[in-house]
Structure 1
């Protein structure tokens, strides 16, 4: 799965020379900057969703997924942990699940 491969690549960039890759630069700036960048990309995706431009939304959605994985890596949360959380929620009513939090 491409997200697994991307998460692995992102994790491999932690602690390497920031001049070696964009991902390493983001991670070197810390979790707060990674979260900020994720937020920026999420807003851009929202704008494209409202505009209705499918190609631009697709591109921005890819950016959102990448920056989500970077943000998670910055806080040592793995994709597997997120997927496990989703699996636990599967089959539950969204309303009941939200109420349990």
Structure 2
């Protein structure tokens, strides 16, 4: 029963939940929070960490290591949200752009960006 309950909880966990956790940890003291420590080092440091995680995610994908890809993908998402927070950008800001882009086909959207 415990395993089934744990799975139900995990199924409901969203990227918005992660963003809320990052927001809460950003407001906490630095010593107890890895997130706070990252944020204290500024956007450039957060961007480097995101880059490291992106490379690790790519390697996992190229190696076709599903388990590693999932784990690195989670790290990548976390560090992306931390970078957004460090840069004063919200997940909702990114979602708004995605909503605009998905209103038309990907090829049309890309062509429109190239004209701008």
Scaled by the length of structure 2, what TM-score is found? 0.81
Deviation at 1:84, TM superposition (A): 1.3
What CA distance in whole angstroms lies between the structure 2 residues aligned with 1:30 and 1:5? 23
Say whether 1:64 aligns with 2:76: yes
What CA distance in whole angstroms lies between the structure 2 residues aligned with 1:76 and 1:54? 33
Say whether 1:9 aligns with 2:21: yes
The Cα offsets for residues 67-95 of structure 1, whole Å up to 9 and x where unpaired, read as: 00000000111111111111111132222
Instruction: Note the residue ranges of structure 1 that are not aligned, 5 or more in a row.
Output: none
After TM superposition, list the pairs within 5 Å mapping 1:38-49 onto structure 2.
Answer: 38-49=50-61
Q: Is the 8 A contact 1:15 1:28 kept in 2?
A: no
Q: Which structure would you say has the larger Rg?
A: 2
What CA distance in whole angstroms lies between the structure 1 residues aligned with 2:18 and 2:105? 30
Aligned to 2:85: 73
Higher relative contact order (CA 8 A, sep 6+): 1
Deviation at 1:11, TM superposition (A): 1.6
Instruction: Note the residue ranges of structure 2 that are not aligned, 5 or more in a row.
Output: 1-12
Say whether 1:52 aligns with 2:64: yes
After TM superposition, list the pairs within 5 Å mapping 1:86-97 onto structure 2.
Answer: 86-97=98-109
Once the two structures are overlaid, the 10-residue window that deviates more, 31-40 or 81-90, is 81-90
Deviation at 1:98, TM superposition (A): 1.9
